[in-house]
Structure formats: C-alpha cells, structure tokens
C-alpha cells in the first residue's frame, strides 16, 4: 500500500557532504567519515504498584490492531610500576597544539619522566575535512610492526601483548548471543589491536546509551577480525552475573597519584564474549566502591585516576594497541596522557580516538588535577590551546583536552556534530571544535540486533518480525497485564529514558495529558538521580494513579524496557537536544513508531511520514521542530490520528520502521575507516 495522499511524492534527496554541514534529513551516517562498502547484515535475524484502586484488567478482544503497515603528542611516570483517559486533568589543537617542545615531558614528582626523553612527536593533524572521504578510504592500510622495543613483563596469558594486530583465539567464553552470519571479510583490511577505555559498558556497568554503544561497537569490531579489549573500572555494583571467568591477572599495578602511588589489582573476564579488564584500586579514596557509577563530588578525580590507571596498565602490561578509543570526559584524559607522558616512555605506536556521547558534561576542574595525575606543569596545560576551559580561565577541561590531543574525535551523529560546532550546542567548546574541525565528525550509533531484536528477544513473551507483525499485539496484551492497564482498543504511547531536562521533561509531562485526552494509553519508564525531578514524577504518578490507561514506572528496569519497546505502538522522544538517541532506534526495530523532536541523532534517523523528502518506504515516524506544546501536538496528534483513522498506513509505517537497518554494520565500517586513517598518520 501507499502512504496517505498528503504525503508528498518522492523528492530528490540531497546527499550529505561532510560533517560540518548537517544533512537535510540526517541522511549521512557519518558526515565526515568515509563511506565504504558496508557489509550487508541480515539480523535474522506484578500488580500495578502504587495503584490504589483500579479495575482489574478484564480480558477482552484484542484491540483493533492496525490491520494491513578526524592528533597530537609525552613523559612519564614510571613510578613504582610499579499510560480511560478522557478524563481531563489539569495541566498543569589548534593545529593539534603541539605541546611545546620546550616543555619537558612530565618531569615532575610522582611522574618520573626521564629527562633524557626525546621530545614527543607532534600529532599529525588528520585533517579529514581536507581529505575527501575517499581519501581516507583510499589510505593504504599497511600493518605496522608493533611494540618490539620493550621487554615484556611476565604476565598472565590475557595480558600478553597479544600479537597486537592478530585476532587472538581464546577459549569460548560463556553464553554468547546467538551466532549470526559473519559478514564477508572487509577487503584487505588488516586486523587491528583496539583497546576501548570506558567508564561504562552494557550490561555490566550501564547508566545510559554510552554503555550500549561500547557493548555493540566492540562486538562489531571483533566480528570483523580485530583484536578488541576493553578496560573498565571494577565498580562494586558491576553486574557480576554477566562476567564470566573473572580472575585476577595483574596483582600489583602501582598507579602514580599525587606524590605517591595507589596499589591496584587488575582482573580479566568475558562479558558476552568481550575481553574485559577491570581495574580495582585499593585506597581509602574508595573510588569505585560507592554503589553507583556517577554522582559524587569527586567524580572528576575518580575518572582521572581511572584514566591514568588504564594507561599505566597498558604500559606495564606491554600492550601497544594500534588504537586506543576512549569515551566522554571520563576518559578524555587518556589522549593527553598518551601524548604528554607515555609516548615519551616509548608508547609511540597507539593512535587515539575520542567519542563524545554528550557535550553537556565535560569534566571541568581545578589545576590540582594536574598534580594528582602526574602531568603537573599548570603553566603549560593551562593554555587556551591545551586544557584551559574556554569559560573559566583558571580551570582545566578534560573533554577539551581530549579533543585537542586525540587523533580523531567523533560524536554520535552528523547532525549533532553540526549542532555542537555551529549551532551553539557545544556547551562552550564551539571554538575548540572549529579549531579541530578537520579531525571531527559524526557517526550514528548502531544498536545490537542480538539484544534488541523482536525475533529473538528473550525478554518478550512473543517473538515477531516484519513478516509476522501481529505477534506484536501479544506483547501489547502482556504489557497491559503487567502494568494493570485496561485492555481496550487504544494505542499505547510510551516514553523510556532518563528523566533529565535534556529529554524534554516539560513536553513529556504535556504529552502524558495530551495522549490521555486523545484516547490513548500512556506508559513511562524512567528515573533521575535528581530527587526533585523524581519527586515531580512521583507526584504525577499519584495524580494519575486511578487511571486505567496510564502507568508511570519511576526506576530503571531493563527487562520492562524490552516489553515496552515490544508492546507499545508509539514511542515519544521530545528531547531538547539529543546527541544520537537509542530509544528511537530500538523502537524502530520493534515496529514502535517514534514521535521525535528533529534534533541531533533523532533528525538523522527518524523521517516524517507526511513531510519528509525521503522516499516513501524510508519514512518511519513523526517529527516536529519547535520545542513547545504546539510542536509536540503537531506530530503526536498526527501519529494518534493515523493509528485510529488510517490503520493500514500505520501498519505500513511499522514495516518501514522494522526494515530500517540501524545495526552496527555501517557504524562499524565507519569507525574502522577512521582507525585506518589515523593509524597511517
């Protein structure tokens, strides 16, 4: 079938060029990243809490489901190695600033940097803007010899400096997701040794989308024949039930810290096949034994320590990866340490890639941190072209440091790359992004189709696919039963996400009432570390407690989220800003129609059924521009009307959504192109 007549005919689509320019409708997956041949991927692929009163759900006929559907630089620290509505409710480097050669590496206490250290090589500016994508693609990927210069310490097998670029055959780890057909080998791409240093990885340490990205990307990279390792803090609240064969591999890792050193132990374990190292410090600072990943006054210090410890570990373990990939401000100090400290120690091989998942958090702190980490030299680092914060002249900014010192910086969608650099969304880092635009680009995140796939999802009662879409309605019934919602013919509008101002909380609140007034049910799953926000939503929950069509679940519940993705009809994402967004990508896979504000990655991945210039079969949701109630209603109203009045159109939209490929296939290729590019610099 065709979409409604109001839908414009196919219009020409502009092709996004490069990062700085936002694609007309987020077409470019990687604005700045080389588009090479992506491998085709066939992803075969309780009682309602708090409800005072409410009719028990009466089984009734299945609701009328819609029928028919882009471098830098050294010195040391060799310390001791050592939810019946109709109930109106009141609404309520610089050119990668070459570190001055006259500044000796880290000749400071606690960071023994050999005075004789040769000056660190300046990072060669990748300059992706100056090199057409094909330029990157065309770079010959010549395997480089790896670390041969240092004596290798005697280590546990996992620590052996792995024939760096050779994929290592390891004993099959425990429960690995269903195997899927491996993509054909990428043409002539040598395998790389890639280390991700990250504060989060799903499911063992998940706070937000960053965790999912690391989980999905690392697997994709490994599937493509690369040797991938991940370094994480050993939090006390890790999901140990997802770590297999956890054991100690490096007992005495001494990490220089202030004038002394902190004794750490490193553990190794498999997380669904991924090779992970967990660093556990033994100190009264108790950095990672606090019951939560973030939310402490000394967060900057905690993750600066982790960054230093991770680098110290790589160094002491004799690992010389081709690529060190770090994430967000928490590990943005890694490239700084690499070029200002460890390169001077001989760690000259690795190239650094930084992915910024959100510019709202940057790790701004005092110069004291320089002393803690052994970088010292405030007069050197407190320079506008290095770590000095763009707003506070006496503060250092870790995220800025990561941008200046990395060989390539990515963010999680081309549109967000544009917004952060040119639309005032960079939280003060716009000038820095301009200076380094040649090595800055956007790659839309993927989602792991082994986890987020209604055909195999173990957390939903009924599997379904694009050719068996009616199975979705069994999940809708299950969702209603679980949340004690009335079984009727209404569509379910849902929201899943952090209750953060970024997510558009005013519009979310308005949408709940608007949806209920327009004959839908509404389900919310979300939480906030901010007690005031949580209390607001608890108040709302109590206000709507008697409604048989509304359920607000305040908390984090991964399992419930799967059932909501599978059971809901419409997913609302009304963000103020959204670097990429995973909820809309997951929703698309589950045939749950996204209604989103067209910003950041949302604009790059959701194409309006009525107004998009995309071909009809690529349109997969509803979008709105203005961050106000009118904007929201313009999109949500159309989605609800389509469900009720054009069920065949709605069903076709669901199929379009499910067919969209947002696996890690394309992003995996994009990141490998970036790695290849910076590796040869």
**Interface with ligand ADP by CB under 6 A: which residues?**
208-209, 212, 496-498, 525-527, 556-558, 561, 580-583
Q: Within 238-319, where are the H helices? A: 299-316
Report the residue number, 660 or 673, with the smaller CB distance to ligand ADP. 660
CA distance 319 to 197: 13
CA distance 365 to 300: 7
Report the residue number, 212 or 604, with the smaller CB distance to ligand ADP. 212
Q: Which two tokens stand for residue 127?
A: 């300059």
Report the residue number, 98 or 581, with the smaller CB distance to ligand ADP. 581
Report, in Å, the least distance between residue 503 CB and ligand ADP.
7
CB 269 within 8 A of CB 278: yes
Report, in Å, the least distance between residue 207 CB and ligand ADP.
7
Report the residue number, 362 or 583, with the smaller CB distance to ligand ADP. 583
CB 334 within 8 A of CB 402: yes
Report, in Å, the least distance between residue 582 CB and ligand ADP.
4
Report the residue number, 264 or 595, with the smaller CB distance to ligand ADP. 595
Report the residue number, 113 or 561, with the smaller CB distance to ligand ADP. 561
The Cβ of residue 599 has, within 10 Å, a number of other Cβ atoms equal to: 26
CA distance 391 to 435: 16
Distances (CA, A) of 642 to 349, 491, 607, 652: 56, 11, 16, 11
Report, in Å, the least distance between residue 235 CB and ligand ADP.
17
The Cβ of residue 176 has, within 10 Å, a number of other Cβ atoms equal to: 14
Report the residue number, 309 or 580, with the smaller CB distance to ligand ADP. 580
The helix (H) or strand (E) run that includes residue 458 is: none
CA distance 469 to 651: 9
Report, in Å, the least distance between residue 547 CB and ligand ADP.
20
Instruction: Residue 69: name the closest of 442, 561, 471, 368 by CA.
Output: 471
Instruction: Residue 385: name the closest of 432, 452, 446 by CA.
Output: 432
Report the residue number, 248 or 558, with the smaller CB distance to ligand ADP. 558
Q: Which residue has the tokens 């009335």?
A: 486
CB 164 within 8 A of CB 143: no
Q: What is the chain's alpha carbon radius of gyration, rounded to the nearest angstrom? A: 25
Reduced to 3 states (helix: H, G, I; strand: E, B; else coil), residue 193 is strand
Report, in Å, the least distance between residue 527 CB and ligand ADP.
5
The three-point CA angle 426-387-31 to 5° equals 40
Report, in Å, the least distance between residue 367 CB and ligand ADP.
30
- Identify the DSSP state of 442: E
Report the residue number, 343 or 561, with the smaller CB distance to ligand ADP. 561
Report, in Å, the least distance between residue 361 CB and ligand ADP.
11
Report the residue number, 245 or 558, with the smaller CB distance to ligand ADP. 558
Q: Which two tokens stand for residue 410?
A: 């990515």
Report, in Å, the least distance between residue 601 CB and ligand ADP.
8
Burial class (CB in 10 A: 0-12, 13-18, 19+), 107: middle
Q: Where are the extended beta strands (E) located within 161-212?
A: 193-197
Report, in Å, the least distance between residue 552 CB and ligand ADP.
11
Report the residue number, 199 or 526, with the smaller CB distance to ligand ADP. 526
Report the residue number, 293 or 337, with the smaller CB distance to ligand ADP. 293
Contacts of 310 (CB under 8 A, 6+ apart): 197, 231, 279, 331, 334
Report, in Å, the least distance between residue 197 CB and ligand ADP.
19
Q: Which two tokens stand for residue 626?
A: 């203005």
Report, in Å, the least distance between residue 557 CB and ligand ADP.
5
CA distance 231 to 249: 13
Q: Give the DSSP letter string of 488-518.
A: SS--EEEEEEE--GGG-HHHHHHHHHHHHHT
Report the residue number, 401 or 526, with the smaller CB distance to ligand ADP. 526
Report the residue number, 256 or 600, with the smaller CB distance to ligand ADP. 600
Report, in Å, the least distance between residue 209 CB and ligand ADP.
2
Report, in Å, the least distance between residue 24 CB and ligand ADP.
23
Helices 505-517 and 629-645, packing angle to 10 deg? 40
Report the residue number, 403 or 494, with the smaller CB distance to ligand ADP. 494
Q: Which two tokens stand for residue 149?
A: 């210069």
Report, in Å, the least distance between residue 628 CB and ligand ADP.
22
Instruction: Residue 85: name the closest of 574, 494, 521 by CA.
Output: 521
Report, in Å, the least distance between residue 558 CB and ligand ADP.
5
Q: Where are the extended beta strands (E) located within 344-489?
A: 351-356, 364-366, 395-397, 408-411, 440-442
CA distance 18 to 34: 9
CB 454 within 8 A of CB 460: yes
Q: Which residue is nearest to ligand ADP (CB)?
A: 209
Report the residue number, 264 or 572, with the smaller CB distance to ligand ADP. 572
């Amino acid at each position: 079938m065709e979409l409604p007549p109001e839908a414009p005919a196919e219009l020409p689509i502009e092709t996004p060029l490069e990062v700085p320019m936002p694609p007309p409708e987020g077409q470019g997956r990687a604005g700045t990243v080389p588009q090479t041949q992506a491998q085709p991927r066939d992803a075969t692929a309780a009682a309602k809490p708090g409800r005072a009163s409410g009719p028990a759900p009466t089984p009734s006929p299945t609701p009328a489901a819609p029928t028919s559907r882009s471098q830098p630089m050294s010195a040391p620290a060799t310390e001791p190695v050592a939810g019946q509505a109709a109930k109106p409710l009141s609404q309520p480097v610089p050119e990668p600033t070459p570190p001055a050669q006259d500044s000796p590496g880290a000749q400071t206490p606690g960071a023994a940097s050999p005075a004789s250290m040769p000056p660190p090589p300046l990072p060669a500016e990748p300059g992706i803007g100056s090199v057409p994508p094909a330029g990157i693609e065309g770079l010959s990927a010549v395997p480089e010899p790896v670390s041969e210069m240092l004596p290798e310490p005697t280590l546990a097998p996992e620590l052996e400096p792995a024939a760096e670029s050779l994929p290592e055959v390891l004993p099959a780890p425990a429960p690995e997701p269903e195997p899927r057909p491996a993509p054909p080998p990428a043409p002539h791409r040598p395998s790389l040794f890639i280390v991700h240093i990250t504060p989060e990885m799903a499911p063992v340490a998940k706070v937000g989308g960053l965790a999912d990205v690391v989980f999905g990307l690392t697997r994709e990279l490994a599937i493509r024949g690369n040797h991938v390792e991940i370094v994480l803090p050993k939090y006390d609240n890790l999901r140990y039930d997802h770590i297999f064969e956890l054991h100690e591999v490096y007992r005495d890792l001494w990490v220089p810290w202030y004038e002394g050193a902190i004794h750490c132990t490193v553990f190794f374990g498999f997380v669904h096949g991924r090779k992970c190292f967990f660093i556990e410090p033994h100190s009264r600072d108790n950095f990672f034994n606090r019951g939560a990943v973030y939310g402490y006054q000394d967060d900057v210090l905690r993750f600066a320590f982790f960054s230093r410890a991770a680098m110290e570990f790589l160094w002491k373990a004799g690992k010389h990866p081709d690529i060190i990939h770090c994430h967000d401000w928490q590990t943005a100090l890694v490239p700084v340490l690499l070029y200002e400290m460890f390169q001077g120690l001989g760690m000259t091989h690795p190239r650094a890639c930084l992915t910024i998942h959100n510019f709202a958090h940057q790790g701004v702190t005092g110069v004291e941190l320089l002393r803690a980490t052994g970088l010292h030299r405030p007069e050197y680092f407190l320079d506008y072209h290095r770590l000095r914060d763009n707003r506070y002249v006496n503060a250092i900014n870790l995220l800025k440091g990561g941008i200046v010192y990395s060989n390539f910086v990515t963010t999680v969608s081309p549109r967000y790359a544009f917004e952060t650099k040119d639309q005032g969304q960079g939280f003060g880092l716009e000038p820095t992004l301009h200076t380094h635009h040649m090595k800055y680009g956007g790659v839309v995140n993927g989602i792991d189709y082994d986890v987020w796939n209604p055909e195999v999802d173990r957390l939903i009662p009924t599997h379904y696919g694009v050719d068996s879409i009616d199975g979705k309605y069994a999940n809708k019934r299950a969702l209603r039963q679980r949340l004690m919602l009335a079984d009727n013919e209404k569509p379910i509008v849902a929201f899943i996400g952090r209750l953060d101002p970024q997510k558009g909380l005013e519009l979310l609140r308005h949408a709940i009432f608007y949806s209920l007034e327009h004959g839908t049910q509404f389900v919310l799953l979300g939480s906030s570390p901010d007690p005031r926000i949580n209390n607001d939503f608890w108040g709302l929950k109590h206000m709507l407690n008697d409604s048989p069509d509304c359920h607000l679940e305040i908390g984090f519940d991964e399992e419930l989220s799967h059932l909501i993705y599978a059971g809901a009809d419409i997913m609302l994402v009304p963000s103020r800003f959204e670097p990429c967004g995973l909820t809309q990508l997951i929703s698309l896979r589950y045939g749950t129609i996204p209604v989103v504000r067209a910003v950041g990655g949302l604009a790059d991945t959701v194409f309006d059924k009525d107004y998009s210039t995309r071909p009809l079969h690529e349109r997969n949701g509803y979008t709105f521009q203005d961050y106000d109630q009118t904007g929201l209603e313009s999109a949500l109203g159309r989605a609800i009307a389509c469900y009720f009045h054009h069920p065949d159109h709605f069903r076709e939209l669901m199929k379009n959504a499910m067919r969209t490929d947002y696996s890690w296939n394309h992003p995996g290729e994009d990141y490998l192109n970036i790695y290849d590019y910076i590796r040869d610099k």
